Structure 1
Amino acid sequence: MSHHDHDPIHNTSNNPHFQDVLNQSLQNPMRRGLLRGGLGLAGLAMLPGCATLTSGMAAAPKALGFPSVEKSLLDNVMLPPGYQYSVLHATGDALDSALAAYSNKGTEADDWSRRVGDHHDGMDIYYIDANGRYTENETGRAVLCVNHESSADAHFMHPNGQTSNGVVGKKFTQFGDWDLGTRPELEVLKEINHHGVSVVEIVKTPQGWRIKQDSPLNRRITAQTPVRISGPRAHIDAIRSFMVTRWDTAGAMARGTLNNCGHGKTPWGTYLGCEENWAYYFQTTANGAALPAKEVAARKRYGVPSSAPAAGATRAPSQGWHTVSATDDRFARWNLAATGANAERDFRNEANTFGYNVEIDPLAPNSTPVKRVAMGRFAHEAAVCSVPVAGQPLAFYMGCDSRNEYIYKFVSTAVWDPRDVGGGLVAGDKYLSEGKLYVARFDSTGQGEWLELTIADPRIANHSTYKFANQGDVFINARFAADAVGATKMDRPEWGAVNYRNGEVYFALTNNNAANRTPTKVDAANPRAYMDLDGKKGTGNPHGHIIRFKEPGHQASAKTFAWDIFLFGAEEDSGDANLSGLTAKNSFSSPDGLWFSKATGICWIQTDDGAFTDETNCMMLAAIPGQVGDGGKVTVKNKMMVGGVEQNGTQESFLGAALGEAKLRRFLVAPQGAEVTGITETADGRTLFVNIQHPGELSKPLASGSAPQSMWPGNAGYGPQGRPRSATIVITRTDGGVIGL
């Protein structure tokens, strides 16, 4: 089901898989002794600098307080007994009372710029005090920021599906499948504007949380909203030279945010929308000049088209937004062809303005969002902040969500000052414009290293594949820089999360396929390569895993870390592949969303799965985490067919302590075709906000006459029935208690 399953590979670097690193490590007598002596991660936990963080929070519970939800293929949200949900808002809901209610028939004549976007994803809550200012304390008034990721279901926004070249009834996918031809203006405006972020005021009523229409705080940041380009003072001119377009010849401003998936929340109270698979919205037509070889290489590394579709092609990547008009910049900007005399006369650089963390001040509706270039450009999947400590730098941990890509860290130059709470984008300029960018290497010993991405590193300055011009170039083409220093290729790094009780960092590695994971292409951090033999068969690492790490002394600026694998996703009957001992009560596949509750310490795991959906829809699980090193070494047995020949092998890795059903349970199962992604809670832990994305994703085009795969949430009593809609739901206990306990 996952739309990412069609994501092509753009990392063709020669960075080693860590079977090679393991062999090299065994050449080192000191490391060989540590391995053979069995020190492992349990021993590492006793080394100096590895003490548990003191956060002042209560310990996590010893067991979960609800029965596990059974697998489900029903078209509704399934919860444990004693829990209930309601829909807060759904795709197309009006932010203003003057706007007509959403028809759910695609007949809206407006451009969607004042409606809730589609494909609800990452989100967070921002409380408002009696003076209208941001507060960390719970009140009955707040703003909820929600990401809107994709165009994969845009056919539901139009009466009869998408239109191309006058043919009605098309269904384009996120990763391409555009039927070549001119598209109608209003259709394209709707699709452009249902991306971005919805900023919506919510209030607590006796009936629960509700949106407040007509609030001056209600706002849509779309793919057309003006945004400011921010970066280190010493490199800002170099950065802006990559951003020059016909719309802003200085490169100081750009337009919009696109394909926002995971998110981040800053300690000072702003929102980070993270731009993930933005590359697939652009096209390059045949009427432009040839591009320099360096630009062609850069586009290829990010999956951006540098040439027109092949002669005779009938379909191509993108949504065809550029076809509406070559003279109207709202549409021409999606064409990357070098049609002008220079970059100031066309949009050849437009793709360089995407791929960043975008900072938004939820309580300042007239503020201009900011793209934080110092945090690097890639397929951003969440930006989770370290536990802030006064007088110490802040770290933001980030995944690049594509197969064989990397995990990054940004460390601020400024040290944390609690007086900056509520400081808005001014505080953002202080902490996110100046700092160092790192990428992770996971070694076979259970240790790892943060590798700085700097032009001062000869491996980057002299990189043979891509010649960097300056440090600004390093930020903008961070994937190449990470290739150069030997970062570890990972199995699709998705959301990260910080365990507030001990400062450890978790990352969901959603899955990988047989092109990248075979028994000879595994490593300690990505150790599985196997065949899923039943149902929706997959090979490689089809069910994914969750990795975690801790830094010495929990210092945000640490250059090293210890790591292990928290959980392996698997079907319960997966044999040797079920390394975490999952049962029918807690088996899961393709972890995606990750989030820790500050109220309870529970780690919430959300899935975006295409390998387990013959047995169950996607889900959300609750886990009680331990700590890095609470398990031990594990030998992973791998077996799969490669080119018609059975390939076998083993890989040593490190696995956390087994959780068992008392500490890992299925809490929610989604409607048909939906992904579960995005979660936040009220400070008292009594209300969860959860996003249900793209129910009915596998629906056939409307022109087929077939009923959609899902009818949710209309079939659950929310809004007009007929077509499925993404939505934010509000979950509570019927007795008003704390969720999960």
Structure 2
Amino acid sequence: MTDYTDGNIDTNRSANPHLNDLIEVRYSRRQTLMGGLSAATAAVFGGMLLAGCDDDGGNGSSPVTVTAGSSANAAAGRPVTLTGNAIGQVDSVAWTQVSGPTVALTNANTATASFIAPGVANGTALVFRFTATAASGTTTAETTVTIGGASLGFTAVPKSLADVVAVPAGYNVTVLYRLGDPIASGVSAYANNGTDTNFARRAGDHHDGMSYFGLSAAGAPDANGNTRGLLVLNHENITQAYLHPNGPTTVAGVRPEAEALKEMECHGVSVVEVNRATDWSYAPTSSFNRRITPLTPMSFSGPVRGADTLKTRYSTDGTAGRGTINNCANGTMPWNTYLTNEENWVGYFRREVGDAARRAATGAVGVKANTSLTRYGKPESNTGGNYGWATVTPADTTSTLYARWNITAQAGAPADGTGDFRNEIFQYGWVVEIDPFDPASTPRKRTALGRMNHEGCQIGRTIAGVKPAFYMGDDAQNEYIYKFVSNAAWSAADATNANRLAMGDKYLDAGTLYVAKFNADGSGQWLPLVYNTGVLTSANATYAFSSQADVLTNVRLAADVLGATKMDRPEWTAVNPATGEMYCTLTNNASRTAAGVDASNPRAYTDPKTDGRAAGTGNVNGHVIRLRESGDSSEATTFAWDIYAFGAGSDLDAANINLSGLDATNDFSSPDGMWFGLPSNASGLITPVLWLQTDDGAYTDVTNCMMLAAIPGTVNDGATRSVTNTLGGATSTVTTRIGKAPGASLRRFLVGPKECEITGIHSTPDGRSLFLNIQHPGENATNPNAPTSNWPANQSVAAAGQRPRSATVVITKADGGVVGL
């Protein structure tokens, strides 16, 4: 029998501590770090075995050895990790920045800190110091991170006809807010079978222009609100078939009231709170949530308020109205309000045959109204208007919610329009301002910005003491580009004024509206739309203008007589935050002929199809024009321009059609939505990222609609080019100005599901979450129970048979960096 075996039997009965006890005490009383568990253990042993001192340090403490890693390089917008090593007994460690543009350090009081590389000039050095504090004193080491300029940091996504949202490797897609999602307590989950009601408390359809507003814990605007905010987005239109069990119904020419009400409520605007823990989600019962629809009370402000053309049976003094419709692009104001813009509103109204004669019989006012209605595209017809809302016979016989969509002058009604809705159509076509932080506020229609098919309304750079400019497109073939210059010079203090709509009053209700004229030599003029200036007088033979309110109500007629340049469907505008240059998407123009081209709209051609459809003609694929104000001043009345990029398939004629030299990584068609990264992160500094979205029918034989990212140059960074157009047996040649070929600085970032439009875009202030909208997937189905898309239900799992839904998605980068860089 063995009484003792060394190592297997405990014979030490003293009260001295175990090694494990020492380690436990050490962790409880000292912070020992070197980048991981094994390194931390080495630090404990370093103190115990190398120094041989007691736990409290004292005179016997050994010096601490610190290293801060080697110098490194990083590109703007990319995550950077700083790793420090401390060997010895340390009380604390910390990273601090010594020099260079200031960055926000995460986990600065640990050995491993991180930050997002800022947007800076190429080759900018940032120096960081790692400090370890011990009883023996402090020890430091430094490292340098050299930041390169912003560059696109992803591989181009290939063209696709699949029914999903495709993004580059390293990116994630989260579906956030879909048609029918409830935004108030007590509202049922969306059945998505046509039986749902109460869309005044659900997400509307056809998500479009959109802004994100950071939200503080106290419910106030927060310029650094990266994990909580308000999304405000437009609901431009509807895919009517999917909203009802078996599609829309009409009985004896009359629409059912319940169907018409649902369709109206699906239009307008959403305000919805969103939050990020790990993933983004929306808050279905937030007190901020709100729907603004064609039924919501509105007020008018600016020069047209109270004008005779705004007087209706509902508002006999012309100061109020009901609702907003066909809201397309948007604007984000620096005083934290949202601009929504009324685009194709004309088609919703019914104008019966005989209306013109009734109006003419009232005298000059009626004759002028007929001229205006013709110019804005509203002929007489006995059809019911879009969706036939004017045909509804309401259960409440006193209701005028449906009668207002019939603008026919009623026999026996007062000629001033106060007894019917002949003037209702003039209440639409405006820019509407919304305060997203005040659900009880009444939206204001800002009439100083003119009446047209408004697309975006983007403010230019704000500079203290300088009057800001607001840029707009009128989205129809051969219409114009506009800017409004406020009478009020910018004051930075207004950005945080709590009376946000009062700031809108200050900057948006008084100023000068201009229309653009593009000259062949690359110059341009802003022509003022001011009553009694030039030809805008009562003596004008085309249209006798009677007041500034008349000019603003009929800006198309005013722009016509001033000789503005007809453009190829001016849509979204965007302003480069670094240069102040304004970009405008010219989506396409089927009516552009070889004889009708000009320097700023230089193409008319044939675009063949591969799917059996007839070839497209005109400027089929569109282009993006840009301008730079003289003196870089928003108050300038002249500018220089060129064409940044021409949409085209990469297989089209490089000499006369694919003028930007696009290839398979960046060819596109019908540019529409457009936005620059925010100057609060690297995507909006020095060389900002331009995001370009498409609404295309021409190239959909090859690919679904898409979004591209670009780092564009500047106006006139290219050269002049002679373009020969051959179309319909006619040939012409025109000289234009083309920007530098974009090459790899433009590439495809995303492709959407079937039959959709990609539209609406904004980001969190840090640029690490990008919101965008997928509009009307599967819009071409004739049978709602046999949909042509199942998105978004099928984004991550199979979902055959599910009806598609317009939706907001959020894109994030797996490494946490700025999206796109």
TM tier, smaller = 0.7 to 0.9
Q: Which of 711, 718, 726 in structure 1 is aligned with 2:790?
A: 711
Cα pair 2:571 2:672 within 8 Å, conserved: yes
2:794 alignment partner, SS class: helix
The number of residue pairs the alignment matches comes to 649
TM alignment of 1:635-654, pairs within 5 A: 635-641=722-728, 646-654=729-737
2:199 alignment partner, SS class: coil
Superposition TM-score, scaled by structure 1 size: 0.85
Structure 2 Cα separation of the partners of residues 626 and 671 of structure 1: 31
Q: Hey, what does 1:212 align to over in structure 2? A: 283
1:354-391 per-residue CA deviation (whole Å, 9 max, x = no partner) reads: 00110000001100000000000000000010110111
Structure 2 Cα separation of the partners of residues 396 and 625 of structure 1: 21
Q: Which of 324, 328, 335 in structure 1 is aligned with 2:392?
A: 324
Cα pair 1:713 1:719 within 8 Å, conserved: no
Is 2:261 the counterpart of 1:189?
A: yes
Q: Which of 333, 336, 339 in structure 2 is aligned with 1:266?
A: 333
Q: Hey, what does 1:510 align to over in structure 2? A: 587
Structure 1 Cα separation of the partners of residues 447 and 473 of structure 2: 15
Greater shift in the superposed pair: 536-545 or 315-324: 315-324
Cα pair 2:214 2:764 within 8 Å, conserved: no
2:386 alignment partner, SS class: coil
Q: Which of 120, 124, 134 in structure 2 is aligned with 1:58?
A: 120
Cα pair 1:503 1:554 within 8 Å, conserved: yes
Q: Hey, what does 1:484 align to over in structure 2? A: 561
Q: Hey, what does 1:41 align to over in structure 2? A: none
Structure 2 Cα separation of the partners of residues 477 and 58 of structure 1: 46
Cα pair 1:592 1:605 within 8 Å, conserved: yes
Cα pair 2:119 2:150 within 8 Å, conserved: no
Is 2:522 the counterpart of 1:434?
A: no
The one-letter code of the counterpart of 2:596 is: K
Q: Which of 360, 364, 369 in structure 1 is aligned with 2:434?
A: 360
Structure 1 Cα separation of the partners of residues 372 and 153 of structure 2: 51
Cα pair 2:305 2:318 within 8 Å, conserved: no
The one-letter code of the counterpart of 2:642 is: D
Q: Hey, what does 2:571 align to over in structure 1? A: 494
1:23-54 per-residue CA deviation (whole Å, 9 max, x = no partner) reads: xxxxxxxxxxxxxxxxxxxxxxxxxxxxxxxx
Structure 2 Cα separation of the partners of residues 136 and 466 of structure 1: 47
Cα pair 2:603 2:619 within 8 Å, conserved: yes
The one-letter code of the counterpart of 1:267 is: P
Q: Hey, what does 1:53 align to over in structure 2? A: none
Q: Structure 1: any 5+ residue segments left out of the alignment?
A: 1-55, 167-180, 310-314
Question: Quick one: structure 1 residues 442 and 222, their matched pair in 2 at CA, closer, same or farther if it must change by over 3 Å?
Answer: same
Q: Hey, what does 2:138 align to over in structure 1? A: none
Is 2:545 the counterpart of 1:468?
A: yes
Identity within the alignment, %: 50
The one-letter code of the counterpart of 1:354 is: Y
Q: Hey, what does 1:578 align to over in structure 2? A: 658
1:144-191 per-residue CA deviation (whole Å, 9 max, x = no partner) reads: 00101013x12211111011116xxxxxxxxxxxxxx10001100111
Greater shift in the superposed pair: 123-132 or 560-569: 123-132
Cα pair 2:430 2:449 within 8 Å, conserved: yes
TM alignment of 1:79-228, pairs within 5 A: 79-108=167-196, 110-151=197-238, 153-165=239-251, 181-206=253-278, 208-228=279-299
Is 2:772 the counterpart of 1:693?
A: no
Residue 550 of structure 1 and its aligned partner are, at CA, apart by 0.3
1:307-330 per-residue CA deviation (whole Å, 9 max, x = no partner) reads: 342xxxxx5642210111275211
Residue 294 of structure 1 and its aligned partner are, at CA, apart by 1.5
Greater shift in the superposed pair: 567-576 or 60-69: 60-69
Cα pair 1:201 1:212 within 8 Å, conserved: yes
Structure 2 Cα separation of the partners of residues 214 and 500 of structure 1: 35
Cα pair 2:677 2:689 within 8 Å, conserved: yes
Cα pair 1:338 1:346 within 8 Å, conserved: yes
Structure 2 Cα separation of the partners of residues 505 and 446 of structure 1: 15
Q: Hey, what does 1:656 align to over in structure 2? A: 739
Structure 2 Cα separation of the partners of residues 369 and 533 of structure 1: 46
Is 2:638 the counterpart of 1:563?
A: no
1:41-80 per-residue CA deviation (whole Å, 9 max, x = no partner) reads: xxxxxxxxxxxxxxx9635946421111111000000111
Superposition TM-score, scaled by structure 2 size: 0.77
Structure 1 Cα separation of the partners of residues 211 and 403 of structure 2: 33
Q: Structure 2: any 5+ residue segments left out of the alignment?
A: 1-117, 123-148, 360-365
Is 2:620 the counterpart of 1:542?
A: yes
Q: Hey, what does 1:283 align to over in structure 2? A: 350
Cα pair 2:349 2:384 within 8 Å, conserved: no
Cα pair 2:485 2:635 within 8 Å, conserved: yes
**Which one has a bigger Cα radius of gyration?**
2
Q: Hey, what does 1:738 align to over in structure 2? A: 818
Cα pair 1:133 1:422 within 8 Å, conserved: no
Residue 196 of structure 1 and its aligned partner are, at CA, apart by 0.6
Question: Quick one: structure 1 residues 636 and 215, their matched pair in 2 at CA, closer, same or farther if it must change by over 3 Å?
Answer: same
Cα pair 2:543 2:557 within 8 Å, conserved: yes
Cα pair 2:226 2:766 within 8 Å, conserved: no
Q: Hey, what does 1:19 align to over in structure 2? A: none
Structure 1 Cα separation of the partners of residues 796 and 315 of structure 2: 47
Structure 2 Cα separation of the partners of residues 717 and 581 of structure 1: 35
**Larger relative CO (CA 8 A, sep 6+): 1 or 2?**
1
2:740 alignment partner, SS class: coil
1:421 alignment partner, SS class: helix
1:711-734 per-residue CA deviation (whole Å, 9 max, x = no partner) reads: 101122599861111000011112
Residue 287 of structure 1 and its aligned partner are, at CA, apart by 8.0
Structure 1 Cα separation of the partners of residues 300 and 609 of structure 2: 49
Q: Hey, what does 1:723 align to over in structure 2? A: 803
Structure 2 Cα separation of the partners of residues 130 and 611 of structure 1: 47
The one-letter code of the counterpart of 1:379 is: N
1:659-687 per-residue CA deviation (whole Å, 9 max, x = no partner) reads: 11x21110000100000000111111111
Residue 139 of structure 1 and its aligned partner are, at CA, apart by 4.0
Cα pair 2:585 2:674 within 8 Å, conserved: yes
1:371 alignment partner, SS class: strand
Cα pair 1:713 1:724 within 8 Å, conserved: yes
Cα pair 1:105 1:158 within 8 Å, conserved: yes
Greater shift in the superposed pair: 557-566 or 536-545: 536-545
Cα pair 2:226 2:764 within 8 Å, conserved: no
Q: Hey, what does 2:82 align to over in structure 1? A: none
1:688 alignment partner, SS class: strand
Question: Quick one: structure 1 residues 713 and 320, their matched pair in 2 at CA, closer, same or farther if it must change by over 3 Å?
Answer: same
